[in-house]
Amino acid sequence: MKKTFNSIYVQLSKYSGGLKYFVYLLIFTTLIISPSLGIADCFYNGLTYPEGSIIGNLICSNGQWIPR
């Protein structure tokens, strides 16, 4: 993992200041936002259902099945 960050740093050091900071910001926001997408999915019988799905009398809300 450290080798990857070092190679990214070496490649980015070729660019001017503004572009370099934009790329750093893009990488940072991607790493922060990506894991938070899809955390509210619910699982039922081995399948994944998005937030708001209804199965019988259950609703998927915040990653849990809640009775309606």
Going from the C-alpha of 39 to that of each of 7, 23, 24, 34, the distances in angstroms are 31, 26, 25, 10
What are the residue boundaries of the structural domains of the chain, listed by start?
A: 2-36, 38-68
Checking if the pLDDT of 59 tops 80, the result is yes
pLDDT tens digits, residue range 33-43? 766 555 678 99
Give yes or no for a contact between 49 and 58, defined as CB atoms under 8 angstroms apart: no
Checking if the pLDDT of 49 tops 80, the result is yes
Average pLDDT, the chain: 78
pTM to 2 decimals?
A: 0.42
Query: Percent of the chain having pLDDT more than 70?
Result: 63
